[in-house]
Structure 1
Amino acid sequence: MREDILPSEPRNRTPPLSLGRLHYAWVVAVTGSIAMFCGLGLGRFAFGMLLPSMSASLALSYTQSGILGFANLIGYLVAVLLSPLILPRFGTRLTGTASLFVIAASMLGMAFTTSFPMLCAFYVLTGIGSGGVVLPMMSVMSHWFFPSHRGLALGLVMAGPGFGIILSGFVVPKLLPFFSLLSWQTGWLIFALINIVVACLTFALIRNHPNDVTHSPFGRIPTSPVKNKKKLERSNLKLLVHLGLIFAIYGATYMVYVTFIVTSMVGSYQLSEAAAGGIWAWIGLLSVFSGMLFGWISDHIGRRLGLALAFFFLAIAYLLVGLTDWHLGLYLSIILFGFVVWSVPVIMAACAGDYFGAAAAASALAALTFAFSSGQALGPVAAGYLAELTGDFRISYMVSGIAAFVAIGLALLLQPQKPL
Structure 2
Amino acid sequence: MAEHRTADGPVAGTTLGGPLWQATGLSLGTLVALGMGRFAYGLLLPSMTADLGWSYAQAGALNTANAVGYLLGAAVAARLMSKFDPRRVFLSGMLVTAASMLGCAGTANVVLLAALRLVSGLAGAVVFVAGATLAVQAGVHLPGRRATMPLGVYVAGSGAGIALSGIGIPPLLAALSQDTGWRAGWLLLGLVSLAAVVPAAVATRGSGVRPAGGTGGSWERRRLIPTALAYLLFGVGYAGYMTFVVALLRNQLAPGQIAVFWIVLGGAGMGASFWWGPLLGRARGGRALGGLLVVVAAGAGIPLIATGPAAALGSAVLFGSAFLSTATAVTAVARRTCPPESWGPAIGGLTTVFAVGQCAGPLFSGVLADQGGLRAGLLLSAMMLAAGAIVSLAQRDHFDRGSQLSI
Matched, 1:185 2:179: no
Q: Report what 2:201 is aligned to.
A: 203
Structure-1 separation of matches of 2:7 and 2:354 = 29
User: What amino acid sits opposite 2:394 in the alignment?
Assistant: L
Matched, 1:347 2:344: no
Matched, 1:293 2:275: yes
User: What amino acid sits opposite 1:291 in the alignment?
Assistant: S
Structure-1 separation of matches of 2:114 and 2:92 = 21
Matches within 5 A, 1:151-300: 151-175=148-172, 182-207=180-205, 209=207, 231-233=217-219, 236-267=220-251, 270-300=252-282
- Give the stretch that moved more between structures: 368-377 or 274-283: 274-283
Structure-1 separation of matches of 2:250 and 2:135 = 39
- 3-state SS of paired residue (2:379): helix
From 297, 302, 315, the counterpart of 1:315? 297
Structure-2 separation of matches of 1:207 and 1:149 = 22
From 2, 7, 13, the counterpart of 2:6? 2
Q: Report what 1:50 is aligned to.
A: 44
- 3-state SS of paired residue (2:276): helix
- 3-state SS of paired residue (1:127): helix
From 76, 92, 96, the counterpart of 2:90? 96
Shift in Å, 1:230: 6.0
Shift in Å, 1:181: 7.5
Structure-2 separation of matches of 1:384 and 1:141 = 35
Aligned residues: 392
Q: Report what 1:124 is aligned to.
A: 118
Distance change >3 Å, CA 391–CA 94, structure 1 → 2? same
Shift in Å, 1:40: 0.8
Q: Report what 1:148 is aligned to.
A: 145
* CA distances 1:243-301 after superposition (whole Å, capped 9, x unpaired): 2111111111111111111111013xx22233212211110111101122223321123
Matched, 1:65 2:59: yes
Q: TM-score, normalised by structure 2?
A: 0.88
- Tell me, yes or no, if the aligned pair for 1:166 and 1:280 is still in contact at 8 Å: yes
Structure-1 separation of matches of 2:287 and 2:119 = 36
* CA distances 1:44-92 after superposition (whole Å, capped 9, x unpaired): 1111111111111111110110011011111111111111210111122
- Give the stretch that moved more between structures: 395-404 or 111-120: 395-404
* CA distances 1:135-186 after superposition (whole Å, capped 9, x unpaired): 1111112222136323322111111111111111121111167899711111
Distance change >3 Å, CA 4–CA 52, structure 1 → 2? farther
- Give the stretch that moved more between structures: 282-291 or 324-333: 324-333
Q: Report what 1:223 is aligned to.
A: none
Matches within 5 A, 1:363-374: 363-374=345-356
Distance change >3 Å, CA 64–CA 6, structure 1 → 2? farther
- Tell me, yes or no, if the aligned pair for 1:150 and 1:350 is still in contact at 8 Å: no
Distance change >3 Å, CA 283–CA 49, structure 1 → 2? same
Shift in Å, 1:355: 0.9
Give aligned-pair identity as a percent: 25
Q: TM-score, normalised by structure 1?
A: 0.86
Structure-2 separation of matches of 1:57 and 1:417 = 52
- 3-state SS of paired residue (1:44): coil
- Give the stretch that moved more between structures: 394-403 or 343-352: 394-403
From 391, 394, 401, the counterpart of 2:382? 401
Shift in Å, 1:17: 5.8
Structure-2 separation of matches of 1:417 and 1:241 = 12
* CA distances 1:86-141 after superposition (whole Å, capped 9, x unpaired): 01111221011111111122112111111111111111111112112111111112
- Tell me, yes or no, if the aligned pair for 1:169 and 1:281 is still in contact at 8 Å: yes
User: What amino acid sits opposite 1:302 in the alignment?
Assistant: R
- 3-state SS of paired residue (1:389): helix
Shift in Å, 1:400: 2.7
Q: Report what 1:221 is aligned to.
A: none
Distance change >3 Å, CA 274–CA 201, structure 1 → 2? same
* CA distances 1:203-261 after superposition (whole Å, capped 9, x unpaired): 3332565979xxxx9xxxxxxxxx9996225xx22123322111111111111111111
Structure-2 separation of matches of 1:5 and 1:149 = 22
Give RMSD over aligned pairs. Answer: 2.7
Distance change >3 Å, CA 4–CA 154, structure 1 → 2? farther
Structure-2 separation of matches of 1:6 and 1:384 = 47
Distance change >3 Å, CA 18–CA 304, structure 1 → 2? same
- 3-state SS of paired residue (2:108): coil
From 34, 40, 55, the counterpart of 2:34? 40
Distance change >3 Å, CA 303–CA 284, structure 1 → 2? farther
